[in-house]
Chains A and B, each alone.
Chain A
Amino acid sequence: MGEMKNTAGAAAQKTGAPAQDVIGIIPSGAAPAPDTRVTLSGWELENPVIPASGTFGFGREFAELYDINCLGTFSFKGTTRQARFGNPTPRIAECTAGMINSVGLQNPGVEHVIAHELPEMKAYFHKKVIANVSGFSVAEYAETCAMLDREEQVGLLEVNVSCPNVHNGGMSFGVSPEAAAEVTRAVKAVTTKPVYIKLSPNVTDIVPIAKACEQAGADGLSLINTLLGMRIDLRRRRPVIANRMGGFSGPAIFPVALRMVYQVYEAVSIPVIGMGGVSSAEDVLEMMLAGATAVQVGAANLVDPFACKTIVEELPRVMQRYGIQTLTEIIGGAHHG
């Protein structure tokens, strides 16, 4: 008991808040409220729950439904140097316990994001965001990141080297350790913000790529992006998706994502943001036990727009159920003993 109180107190002191603010709402005698805070490269988040890029836009549609400031933060729609319309439709196919998308990085371009999306976001989101960036050349990644580096609303850069839906885009960087390292170095050279590289699961072994990014100076890693998949329409005898293949996401991929987070955690010493099929507070805890410092939620936002809010609200209760007082203490917990 005494140890738990000390932990809460120590965590509170990190932010300069008095310890009783953390435990003040708990009646005396009861256990203190679980501490859900996590820290990504010096950036403290109230909780580890982060809507994943491409499933949350710039937050506007969700802010109409609930106050999205309850989130740890969110990762905005993958942004490129130039505006992109993306792939032809159909872009969506349903699967058992999941879906395939082939949006193809539709976005308004980084200049529009800086001129419009970020200023408008201030009205409904008061925390820093994760800027998700894609590119088609090393120089393009660097240029886009350099522009976002000047934005104080950006807490960290999440560099996507793993989009499965664009020809020659991203994926080619994410499937080779050398190319992933080259992008990492180029981006690190133009920004002082933490750089997290978002990795593809569509590789023989994700570990050497993760290590290459770490050696090239990445501050952290995000994994996994979607798994390349497809569906075929029996009536038309053609792929459902116009681009034939797309990125498979949803609860079906959770075990694969968990396994990769577990493997990468053992191989690197930089923080990992875990994602892939996360749909509940229990999934968040599993991801963190596997080694994630924070957790992103993707497809779940599309079928239940309140998914992240629900996870944030349930997390303390589920932590208590499993005897977790301080969330950071369980990171990588499944690896010990």
Chain B
Amino acid sequence: MKQTEYRIVENLPLARDVFRMRLAGDSSAFTAPGQFLNLRVEGCYLRRPISVCDWDREGVTIIYKVVGKGTAAMSRMGPGEALDALTGLGNGFSPEKGGAAPLLIGGGVGVPPLYRLCRELIARGAHPTAVLGFGSAADVFYCEEFEALGAQVRLATADGSAGQRGFVTDAMAGLDYTYFYACGPEAMFRAVDRIAKSSGQYSFEERMGCGFGACMGCSCRTLTGSKRICRDGPVLEREEILWEK
């Protein structure tokens, strides 16, 4: 973890209520896809945890959905403005577990962290398939970006206005894969878990106090003991998850 002062390079709408923000500054604390940063937003007491879509030597890219006061304030920010972030938070996905044909399963704003993961999987010589699910055509983003990386993409929308009609689980039908990585709403995880044919990892979300393991605000029970989503997660192994009702 590091504290980093970023400068906004770009903050543009990508889909309905979804924005992509490019931030210039130190990205050295990020070591694994699926890690997140925690942004201080003017007018909000708590920071806003946002998963990182990608990073390079110049900075990081985040994709976020406007869901409340904090993300609304972020959406109004422009190039040149400064943002204070805690960076390199969370454990992240394990690309080395993916095997030859890993499956990426993303739901809505859960898609972004899979982008960096996809890039790393391809760099390792794997042939990933990305199953991306959204509500409607207006919500869809990043299908072309995954294809440009070299991944096979299957798109599903709940209303059928883009790709095939249905959920990610419908789009998973008939696919063979060596391992899976999922990020999205918990309802999606439960549906995926009922049909998944391999080991895999899920990236969880929870309301956080600090985002770095101090407050115990985001603890969850697992078969391997109590875990802090922010520090011991957000990525958990399929085998350790306790699906509480």
Contacts and interface: CB of A to CB of B under 8 A. Distances in A.
Interface of A: 54-57, 61-62, 64-65, 77, 85-86, 89-99, 101, 103, 106, 240, 250-251, 299, 301-303, 305-306
Given A89-B206, A106-B226, A305 B3 contact: yes
B16 interface: no
Q: Chain B contact residues (Cβ within 8 angstroms of A): what range?
A: 20 to 34
B83 interface: no
B45 A96 contact: yes
Given A56-B214, A301-B214, A101 B45 contact: no
A91 B207 CA distance: 7
B94 to A, nearest CB: 22
Given A64-B1, A303-B40, A90 B216 contact: no
Interface of B: 1, 3, 40, 44-47, 86, 206-210, 212-221, 226, 231
Contact of A97 (B45, B217, B219, B231): B45
Nearest to A51: B214
A55 B40 contact: no
Given A64-B1, A92-B46, A93-B207, 19 more contacts: A55-B210, A57-B216, A85-B226, A89-B219, A91-B217, A92-B208, A92-B218, A94-B44, A94-B45, A98-B45, A106-B219, A240-B207, A299-B45, A302-B46, A302-B214, A303-B40, A303-B46, A305-B86, A305-B210
> For the complex, would chain B's binding face be called helix, strand, loop or mixed by DSSP majority?
loop
Contacts, number: 89
A305 B210 CA distance: 8
A236 to B, nearest CB: 13
| 8 closest Cβ pairs, A-B complex | A302-B210, A92-B217, A90-B207, A92-B207, A106-B216, A92-B209, A61-B213, A94-B46
A53 to B, nearest CB: 11
A303 B213 CA distance: 12
Contacts of B86: 305
A100 B185 CA distance: 24
B220 A250 contact: no
A57 B207 contact: no
